[in-house]
């Protein structure tokens, strides 16, 4: 029997959706994490509504450096066409409030909730009792007690260790070979692959800012206008046309 040939998936888009923010293709090399039947490999790390509505990631990880608020979760849920992992605090916001926000996130359709690194074990337990969706715990250093968090109800680890991310992932994987791990991918294909090789099952990726995306679009518009002008003037720039006109005078 001949081996099956892996076929590339057909890609369909339109002119209006051609500017979609695309996650790095190397993320497809990871195994993914299957949550309630949905396989998640790439997570876009943003709370920008426009970017959430225009990207090709498998899910959005909506964590932000402010006190979690139901209005933010609801706003993202209203526009997102992909699963949401919602931040529910754990630093300043703890205890019953985090549990209540977790319950609200579940009611809004969140696929999982994300707690910050300082989250007390007792808060994790309260969230575990409140919701039926996975708890994702952010890990920022190899010195954190992983086992205590897993025992309290954490289901997935979200490793965000800056330049040490791949190293932290590898240490966790040595002691917890089966725990699902999301890891920040960093700025390049090489850093993403390093996290995957270290044992990450899924990668979170930070998209360009709204300002950077606008800059790229403005550059595109400028180049297009320049090309149009030169086509109409036999390949000459505006300065060259003005010089010719001066000599004619």
pLDDT > 90? residue 211: no
pLDDT digits (tens, 9 = 90+) for 226-238: 999 989 998 989 9
Q: Which of 136, 163, 175 is nearest to 43 (CA)?
A: 136
pLDDT > 90? residue 248: no
Categorize the per-residue pLDDT at 153 as very low, low, confident or very high, splitting at 50, 70 and 90.
very high
Report the C-alpha gap between 62 and 56 in whole angstroms: 15
What is the average per-residue pLDDT within 125-147?
Answer: 97
pTM: 0.87
Which tokens is 246 given? 């001066």
Bigger pLDDT: 87 or 14?
87
Give me Rg for the CA atoms of the chain: 23
Categorize the per-residue pLDDT at 213 as very low, low, confident or very high, splitting at 50, 70 and 90.
confident
Helix, strand and coil in the chain, % to nearest 5: 45, 15, 40
Q: Report pLDDT for 8.
A: 72
Domain locations in the chain as residue ranges: 25-207, 212-247
Q: Report pLDDT for 6.
A: 64
> Which CATH code of 3.40.50.1100, 3.20.20.60, 3.40.50.2300, 3.40.190.120 fits the domain covering 25-207?
3.20.20.60
Report the C-alpha gap between 77 and 74 in whole angstroms: 5
What are the residue ranges of helices labelled H in 61-188?
70-79, 95-107, 121-130, 146-152, 165-175
């Amino acid at each position: 029997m001949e081996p099956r040939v892996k076929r590339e998936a057909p890609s369909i888009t339109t002119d209006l959706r051609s500017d979609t923010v695309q996650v790095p293709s190397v993320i497809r090399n990871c195994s993914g994490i299957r949550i309630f039947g949905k396989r998640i490999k790439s997570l876009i790390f943003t709370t920008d509504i426009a970017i959430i509505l225009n990207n090709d990631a498998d899910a959005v990880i909506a964590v932000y450096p402010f006190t979690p608020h139901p209005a933010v979760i609801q706003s993202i849920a209203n526009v997102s066409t992909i699963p949401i992992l919602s931040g529910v605090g754990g630093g300043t916001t703890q205890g019953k409030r985090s549990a209540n926000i977790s319950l609200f996130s579940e009611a809004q359709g969140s696929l999982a909730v994300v707690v910050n690194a300082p989250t007390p074990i007792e808060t994790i337990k309260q969230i575990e009792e409140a919701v039926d969706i996975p708890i994702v715990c952010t890990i920022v250093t190899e010195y954190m007690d992983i086992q205590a968090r897993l025992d309290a109800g954490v289901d997935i680890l979200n490793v965000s260790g800056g330049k040490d991310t791949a190293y932290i992932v590898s240490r966790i994987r040595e002691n917890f070979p089966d725990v699902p791990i999301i890891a920040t991918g960093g700025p390049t294909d090489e850093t993403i692959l390093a996290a995957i090789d270290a044992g990450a099952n899924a990668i979170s990726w930070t998209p360009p800012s709204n300002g950077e995306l606008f800059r790229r679009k403005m550059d595109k518009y400028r180049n297009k206008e320049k090309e149009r002008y030169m086509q109409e003037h036999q390949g000459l720039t505006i300065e060259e046309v003005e010089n010719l006109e001066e000599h004619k005078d």
